[in-house]
Amino acid sequence: TMTALRQRKGSRGKDPGPSIQNLKVILLSFSPGGFSWWTILCVMTGSIVGVSLGLLCCIYVSTLHENDLWFSNIKEVEREISFRTECGLYYSYYKQMLKAPSIQQGLYELIHDNTTESKRTINILQRMNIYQEVFLSILYRILHIQTYLEPIYFYIYTVFALQTVYVIALFITSWLLSDSWLAGALSGVWYILNRVDTTRVEFTISLRENWSIPFFALQVAAITCYLRPQLKPIHQRVVLWLVFVSTFCFCLTWQFNQFVLLVQALIIFTLDCLDFFTVVSLYLMQVLSLLLVWLLQFCNSMILGSLVLSFIVSALFIKHFQVSVHLSTQKILQLKSDEHIFKFIKAKFGLGATRDFDASLYLCEEAFGLLPLDTFERLAGTVLLYPYLCTLSAFHHTSCREREDRTFRMRPDVAYNILHTVFFGLLAFSTMRMKYLWTGHMCAFAAFGVCGKEVWSLYLRVLHCNTRTMMRLIRYSVPIVILAFLYYKFWPRLMEEISELREFYDPDTMELMEWIRLKTPKRAVFAGSMQLLAGIKLCTGRVLTNHPHYEDQALRERTRQVYQIYARQSAEEVHKELGSVGADYIVLEDSICYERRHSRGCRLRDLLDLANGHIMDGPGENEPDLISASHPRFCEAIKTDMPPYSTLFTRVFKNKTFHVYKLKKLKKKKQS
């Protein structure tokens, strides 16, 4: 870092000072045999290549985003509408902080928020991972760049810049493993060419994973450096500090951090059982990071009762009480915020009831399904899959050799990265959304296989030509050939891709947002789908009944309550449910009411019917205990404008996509 390399003021005579010592740490990390002018030249060249690839990736995704939406030319409301689903919710807090009269007032409004959930005051900083939005809003205020850069551009450019961090982290990881910056170049190129499977940042900018995964990749690079055998204790402490900082940033920016760290804790535990290294220091970094985030999130009980903390405690002290410790923690803290995750896991593997509404919402989304097979076709098309599999195969044989030859010992940093790619690969196979945790590291691991000595020594030994000259020739020529091939095959495609120009076009949503902003009171409460309401909050600032941040039991219950507008319920029952959450308006979407995107059994109306014990629409089988509903589907019947619907609701807005109804206030019966 710049801080690490900056020369301190004042002279210390012959003492080289901390900055030179830190430079030595960096050089020794990349060159186990010591450092020389040649080493310095290689490090400088590799650093320039790594930073250049990172910047190239940043510019690439930024260009795609601009060309896909014509972002610089559309209206501000259209820009905000482009933040779909939960992205709009997170960005709204950045916008809210900037609109506040002062930073202190903005923080107060977040801590005492009464617009995100009607009839409730919640602490947004405790409930959600939005410190990045808070930090950016403060930074935007104090930098005084308002005349040069619009707030929305400052936000999206920061997220795109994190892709630079991501690529550099992968570059460093593969460089450390292989002792060749060519591996870093190959990993960066592979990451960019496999963009469809490595990131979705260009169209889901505000998703928490786009903030956190770059820090996770940085943490893996730091762990890889920490496990290098030649590092002295003082150097290990410096790198361990980097592990802590990156782990903390990762945990602070994503609510699913605990589940990712649990997988990593399992990896560390496995390596500890195999006597590769002691785990206390790495576990301590995880625990300290989580506890610090717990404090910053106002003692969020979901963090303190997480599986990873329970596992670490169990692994270090009382391993055989692992399950008991977690269950007792959950019971003591009365944790219910993350129970929908466990319901989803149970249902996914056939261990629980599949009628649960919350679990079914996840199960029916493609992102939470199995990894599609066409993913491997794309990865093979960029010549990534083949060296990756060859590397895994080679190390499988190496592990067999290790069991036979007690004098041979696999490097701890290599062992960690092998288990990392295997564990997160299995996670990606089981849940498609988790592939973004795997494919980036896959690029670094495959590049290590191509440029490292371990894999080639095995194959050259089989061919009886394992000489130093042949090893050097193979290690440097093969990656150059692959890079040349990738350039020849994909450079024209990249140029064609970034030259395609499209334009954002969603007139119905824009018309709805403009109507809400101009025709409804500022404190009006809106009910509807989670995804749409996030956009309504961002574009209009109106109060919501529910939203897409699903990590709260009370909110999940309220969402099921509001979603009865798409179920077979009476007008009186729906009016009562909506009135209990303070709704003034409901927004009905034809795309949900008459949904065809999902198959039967996964449409939202089907999930509601099953949860209510009703027979589903359309031809197909139904479970024998389901009964026919006694009322028509509300979202269809209300459009007839007949009593009792016309008695309780008034249509106030309509276009091709949306229907907005205002709830009529019921007159209280006079007591006789």
3-state secondary structure 319-343: HHHHHHHHHHHHHHHCCCCCHHHHH
644 cis-preceded (ω within 30 degrees of 0): yes
Between 37 and 476, the more confident residue is 476
Domains of the chain: 158-319+354-499 (no CATH), 507-663 (3.40.50)
Name the residue among 629, 178, 138 with its Cα closest to residue 391.
Answer: 178
Q: Taking residues 496-508, what's their average pLDDT?
A: 94
Q: Do the beta carbons of residue 446 and residue 384 sit within 8 Å? A: yes
3-class SS letters over 153-211: HHHHHHHHHHHHHHHHHHHHHHHHHHCCHHHHHHHHHHHHHCHHHHCCCCCCCCCHHHH
Decide if pLDDT at 325 tops 70: no
Which tens digit of pLDDT belongs to each residue from 586-627? 999 999 999 988 889 999 999 999 999 999 998 888 988 999
Q: Do the beta carbons of residue 128 and residue 337 sit within 8 Å? A: no
Q: Taking residues 153-175, what's their average pLDDT?
A: 98
| Alpha carbon distances (Å) from 198 to 187, 378, 424, 431, 496 | 12, 11, 13, 14, 20
User: Please, which residues have CB within 8 angstroms of residue 543's CB and are 6 or more apart in sequence?
Assistant: 114, 115, 118, 523, 524, 525, 526, 582
Integer Cα distance of 511 and 527 in angstroms: 18
- Supply the pLDDT for residue 31: 58
Decide if pLDDT at 401 tops 70: no
Q: Do the beta carbons of residue 88 and residue 535 sit within 8 Å? A: yes
- Supply the pLDDT for residue 598: 87
Candidate from 128-137, 326-335, 446-455 with smallest mean pLDDT: 326-335
Q: Taking residues 419-425, what's their average pLDDT?
A: 97
Q: Taking residues 173-202, what's their average pLDDT?
A: 96
Which tens digit of pLDDT belongs to each residue from 654-669? 999 999 999 998 776 5
| Alpha carbon distances (Å) from 512 to 84, 91, 589, 637 | 15, 19, 11, 22
Name the residue among 81, 68, 70, 86 with its Cα closest to residue 510.
Answer: 81
Integer Cα distance of 288 and 184 in angstroms: 30
- Supply the pLDDT for residue 337: 56
Name the residue among 506, 503, 504, 499 with its Cα closest to residue 63.
Answer: 499
- Supply the pLDDT for residue 232: 83
- Sheet of 649-654: strands edge to edge? 543-544, 525-527, 585-589, 658-663, 649-654
- Supply the pLDDT for residue 280: 86
pLDDT band at 355 (very low <50, low <70, confident <90, very high): confident
Q: What is the mean pLDDT of the chain?
A: 88
- Supply the pLDDT for residue 324: 44
Name the residue among 142, 115, 164 with its Cα closest to residue 536.
Answer: 115
The position carrying tokens 């106002």 is: 298
Q: What residue type is assigned to position 662 of the chain?
A: K
Integer Cα distance of 523 and 525 in angstroms: 6
User: Please, which residues have CB within 8 angstroms of residue 301's CB and are 6 or more apart in sequence?
Assistant: 333, 334, 335, 337
Integer Cα distance of 587 and 25 in angstroms: 59
Which tens digit of pLDDT belongs to each residue from 218-242? 999 999 999 988 788 888 899 999 9
Within the chain, what is the greatest distance between any pair of CA atoms? Answer: 103
Decide if pLDDT at 428 tops 50: yes
Name the residue among 416, 535, 424 with its Cα closest to residue 177.
Answer: 416
| Alpha carbon distances (Å) from 51 to 45, 156, 185, 443 | 10, 20, 10, 17
| Alpha carbon distances (Å) from 123 to 73, 111, 564, 611 | 36, 4, 27, 30
